[in-house]
């Protein structure tokens, strides 16, 4: 059996939209109707006419689709595909934090559970986090969660001194350390450097850029989709990329004449890699596993997600 052909056949027969995150395995990306970042995937889910969405990503992404598309069936091939960053805060912890800052606006990264989203004023992704915070009056305190590296980056980019940041991190991006950056860049003297704002090296990279330590080297701090667009439009032929290694497949596919080097070969999300072609096939065949969000939670979370989708 050619499993890819069978998946494409089943997908057509059952009229299923398959979405895959940029960090998914190459084979999984190949059978998807759309491959993108969290914001792009959320927008695709929200506007599709198809009644079933199969989400090749992690659990919070499928939950977000279920919230924005309450009339659709949302499937995920493996219920165990979680997120180390989302696990760093729960709804009870957030409610306690909010009680300590009763007048603050809460801004949460999309990498959170539905229960946490139900407690938020705004949701955001790495591609629009800065603009979401800029849309909030400057005199308002902000609670930003759960990623401390993205939060620190946003605070610097918006010059906010009234942002409180939750001390959470993604196990993959936290492992991309500033002490490894210079060594890798020395090996690739002509490469542009693309950095995801969730990386633990982001603050030091910003400081080094401001100090002129990179000289004439191009350094860009971008979301995964921002990296894709920049690589397509750049005249450079070589890039060192600081994020999860799954993104390199699509980058190379879109730019066969360019070279992409991972900042860290070990930047691999074990949760993203839990989704395989065999699990996608089983999910399509048996309509498993359906992701549902209780109506009371979905209704509360919907406003924060809608605000995220409205801000580019």
199 assigned ligand-binding residue: no
* Cα distance between the two ends of the chain: 43
Sign of the alpha-carbon dihedral angle for 46, 252, 232, 214: positive
d(C-alpha 70, C-alpha 67), whole Å: 6
Whether residue 170 is annotated as binding a ligand: the answer is: yes
CATH of 86-170, one of 3.40.50.10800, 2.40.50.140, 3.40.50.300, 3.40.50.410: 3.40.50.10800
Determine if residue 110 is labeled as part of a ligand binding site: yes
Q: What is the DSSP string of 170-229?
A: -HHHHTS-HHHHHHHHHH-TT-EEEE-TTSTTHHHHHHHHHHTTTTT--EEE--HHHHHH
Is 196 annotated as ligand-binding?
Answer: yes
Q: Where in the chain is the domain with CATH 3.40.50.10800?
A: 3-82+272-295, 86-170, 176-262
Q: What is 3-82+272-295's CATH number, 2.70.98.60, 3.40.50.261, 3.40.50.10800, 1.10.150.120? A: 3.40.50.10800
Q: Is 255 among the annotated ligand-binding positions? A: no
Query: Is there a binding annotation on residue 101?
Result: no
224 is in an annotated binding site: yes
Q: What is the pTM of this model?
A: 0.89
Residue 123, marked binder? no
- Confirm whether residue 171 is marked as ligand binding: no
126 in a labelled binding site: yes
- As a whole number of angstroms, the distance between CA 170 and CA 53 comes to 26
The enclosing H or E element of 92 equals helix 91-100
Residue 128, annotated as binding a ligand: no
Residue by residue, pLDDT tens for the chain (312 residues) are 799 999 999 999 999 999 999 999 999 999 999 999 887 888 898 889 999 999 999 999 999 999 999 999 999 999 999 999 999 999 999 999 999 999 999 999 989 999 999 999 999 988 899 999 999 999 999 999 999 999 999 999 999 999 999 999 998 998 888 877 888 888 998 899 999 988 888 878 876 766 666 667 788 899 888 999 999 999 999 999 999 999 999 999 999 999 999 999 999 999 999 999 999 999 999 999 999 999 999 999 999 999 988 887
Short-list 247, 199, 248, CA closest to 219: 199
Measured on CA atoms in the order 128, 57, 219, 108, is the torsion positive or negative?
positive
What is d(CA 230, CA 232) in angstroms, rounded to the nearest whole number?
5
Inter-residue contact 247 to 224 (CB < 8 Å)? yes
CATH code at 176-262: 3.40.50.10800
Burial call 264-297: b when 16+ CB within 10 Å, e when fewer: beebebebbbbbbbebbbebbeeeebebebeeeb
Report how far residue 169's alpha carbon sits from residue 147's, in angstroms, rounded to the nearest whole number: 5
């Amino acid at each position: 059996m050619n499993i890819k052909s069978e998946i494409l056949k089943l997908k057509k027969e059952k009229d299923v939209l398959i979405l895959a995150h940029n960090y998914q395995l190459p084979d999984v990306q190949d059978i998807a109707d759309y491959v993108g970042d969290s914001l792009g995937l959320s927008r695709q889910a929200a506007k599709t006419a198809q009644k079933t969405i199969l989400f090749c990503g992690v659990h919070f992404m499928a939950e977000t689709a279920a919230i924005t598309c309450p009339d659709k069936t949302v499937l995920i091939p493996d219920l165990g595909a979680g997120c180390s960053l989302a696990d760093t805060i729960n709804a009870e912890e957030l409610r306690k934090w909010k009680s300590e800052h009763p007048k603050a606006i809460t801004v949460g990264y999309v990498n959170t559970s539905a229960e946490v989203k139900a407690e938020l004023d705004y949701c955001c992704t790495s591609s629009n986090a800065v603009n979401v915070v800029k849309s909030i009056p400057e005199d308002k305190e902000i609670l930003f969660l759960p990623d401390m590296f993205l939060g620190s980056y946003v605070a610097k980019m918006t010059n906010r001194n009234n942002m409180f940041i939750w001390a959470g991190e993604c196990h993959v991006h936290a492992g991309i350390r500033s002490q490894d950056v210079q060594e890798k860049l020395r090996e690739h003297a002509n490469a542009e450097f693309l950095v995801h704002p969730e990386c633990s090296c982001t603050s030091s990279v910003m400081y080094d850029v401001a100090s002129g330590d990179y000289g004439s080297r191009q350094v860009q701090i971008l979301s995964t989709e921002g990296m894709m667009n920049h690589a397509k439009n750049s005249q450079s032929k070589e890039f060192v990329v600081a994020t999860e290694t799954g993104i390199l497949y699509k980058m190379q596919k879109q730019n066969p004449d360019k070279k992409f080097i991972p900042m860290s070969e070990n930047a691999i999300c074990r949760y993203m890699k839990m989704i395989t072609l065999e699990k996608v096939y089983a999910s399509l065949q048996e309509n498993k596993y359906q992701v549902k969000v209780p109506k009371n939670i979905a209704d509360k979370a919907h406003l924060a997600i809608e605000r995220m989708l409205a801000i580019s």
